[in-house]
A and B are shown apart, each in its own frame.
Chain A
């Protein structure tokens, strides 16, 4: 087997407050192969976004790296200096955020914001860079790119702004694209277009994707493998088809069964939705043992006391549960 493009090994992220330090992310490990699309799914507060930020070297106080390794193409980057991170970000690892309006500079024309990538990372002159920016806009299917490069972000619709973000992210041909809820702020029909565009461009350029979302269906459609996070830990990881066909962790099972699925009522009539009882725990109140135990239907004594270790599943899968069945 060839070495993975990105290897995150036993990652811990610490959240420091005046009174205490918490582990916001704990024992998170995963690998992404070259050109592979990998999904990280979880609810707000589960640590998926800060895991992505750590891979970009963007953790800032009160968050800090609490341990573990981040290996890009065989090279450990978790302790890289600020200057080294600047060379990595945008060039080898790029990121798209949820809300394109706040991620773009409102005072700069979008063409210039794309061209900047070529100037900063590839030493291009501004005239050449602007020509290439126009091409980049054409690639993300923005209509009349020759006029649009002079537009400011507020003159574009939400979907167009996200296309500009994709153009900026892919400008220097990064090896890894991190997409953090890239379509949550968009309408559903636009979401479908943006996802298709992102997947097609990355497939054509051989870019790997780390897709972060709360929408298991969206991620499973796009990614080959999916990891599910709950309260700072990965609780299950499987191939996308397998996770829907045979989820092993009670939390994953709950997520899949609790949402009404299109076409379900036609087939089986209206069934009462299965609820996951309780609420997502806050970071200061993570329960001992398995963090899902207060909400789990299959809870036993051992779940309340002992934190479950990883059980390997076929095809690189894993589950973190005492009773994974």
Chain B
């Protein structure tokens, strides 16, 4: 088996919030014991609602917040021992909002050339060549290099954001909701572009999204997060055709499905809203909203247990089929 490009072992990120004036210090467990890996050339879909910790997890992988506990390894080396410049050459990120994530006072050329300069490319011809090359790859014309972000539409800006992420030829790209800020008719262009670039450059992706249609389309494997924990993980086919955690089923049931093609029915819908990560429910975090809950769910934390090889779910009743 190939060595994983990225391996997370029991990673937790806790923040302290509040203070004496706010009625005491509390611990916010944004990420609480996540174990997963990403293999070379693989796309891992990361799904969950707002506040589940998926963006904090992305920041931890980027080395932008230190983990409270656990080990993150890039190509087998602990991320704490690699210097930040090397991490930046291996992991890059595409952000959700292409209006907020580009410097409005930098031309496209500068946005793309600066990372190269910082990472030691000084030869002018090489700089020019790599910028032009990257622009062509993401579908921008060479004469657009001297324009500023405001001169571009949302879809083109996201192309610039993708070009910036790829200019250092990273191995892993974290895409944080890369299409949800775009017009509906533009999304297919960006999804196709991301998939083409993945094949062309041999990239691995972590695709963070709440749009299950997109996740099913692009992912090889999928991890579902709820209040800081992974509740189910498996191949895209297992997650979407045979989901075992009631939360995964609830997510799928919540998607408007005019073709009635999803594998779960409306009965699987969740009740209520995601609890605060400051005060998560005891036992299984999902139990107050769960249509299948029983007494033990409120006290015993379910472990991630195997359903099939490579498919795990953290539910006491993962082998019980829904009503």
A-to-B contact residues, CB < 8 Å: 43-44, 157-160, 187-193, 195-196, 214-218, 220-222, 240-241, 244, 251, 254-255, 258-267, 270, 272-277, 279-280, 295
Given A187-B274, A279-B155, answer yes or no on A262-B252 (Cβ-Cβ < 8 Å): yes
A218 vs B262: C-alpha distance when bound (angstroms): 15
Question: Which A residues are in CB contact (< 8 Å) with B272?
Answer: 193
Pick from A43, A220, A272: contact of B185, CB under 8 Å: A43
The secondary-structure label for the interface of chain B is helix
Distance (Å) between the CB of B170 and the closest chain A CB? 24
Question: Which A residues are in CB contact (< 8 Å) with B189?
Answer: 275-277
A277 vs B185: C-alpha distance when bound (angstroms): 8
Question: Which B residues are in CB contact (< 8 Å) with A254?
Answer: 185
Given A188-B210, A192-B269, A259-B187, answer yes or no on A273-B192 (Cβ-Cβ < 8 Å): yes
B254 close to A261 (CB less than 8 A): no
A221 close to B257 (CB less than 8 A): yes
Interface residues of B in 261-278 (CB under 8 A from A): 261-263, 269-274
Query: Could you give, for residues 145-170 of chain B, a 1 whenever the CB lies within 8 Å of some chain A CB and a 0 otherwise?
Result: 00000000101100000000000000
Distance (Å) between the CB of A246 and the closest chain B CB? 13
Question: Which A residues are in CB contact (< 8 Å) with B213?
Answer: 259-262, 264
Distance (Å) between the CB of A128 and the closest chain B CB? 31
Is B256's beta carbon under 8 Å from chain A? yes
A254 vs B251: C-alpha distance when bound (angstroms): 26
Closest A-chain residue to B154, C-beta based? A279
A220 close to B256 (CB less than 8 A): yes
B273 close to A44 (CB less than 8 A): no
The secondary-structure label for the interface of chain A is helix
B261 close to A261 (CB less than 8 A): yes
Given A189-B251, A263-B263, answer yes or no on A218-B188 (Cβ-Cβ < 8 Å): no
Is B216's beta carbon under 8 Å from chain A? yes
B257 close to A217 (CB less than 8 A): yes
Is B132's beta carbon under 8 Å from chain A? no
A275 close to B192 (CB less than 8 A): yes
Given A188-B254, A192-B269, answer yes or no on A266-B240 (Cβ-Cβ < 8 Å): yes
A279 close to B186 (CB less than 8 A): yes
A280 close to B212 (CB less than 8 A): no
A255 close to B184 (CB less than 8 A): yes
Q: Contacts A159-B273, A258-B188 known; list 12 others, CB within 8 Å.
A: A43-B184, A216-B258, A217-B256, A258-B185, A260-B191, A262-B240, A264-B217, A265-B216, A276-B186, A279-B155, A279-B186, A280-B185
In the assembled complex, 22 residue pairs joining A and B whose CB atoms fall closer than 8 Å, in A order, are: A189-B254, A192-B253, A192-B269, A215-B256, A221-B257, A221-B258, A240-B258, A258-B188, A259-B184, A259-B213, A260-B216, A262-B255, A263-B259, A265-B240, A266-B263, A273-B191, A276-B186, A277-B189, A279-B155, A280-B153, A280-B183, A295-B185
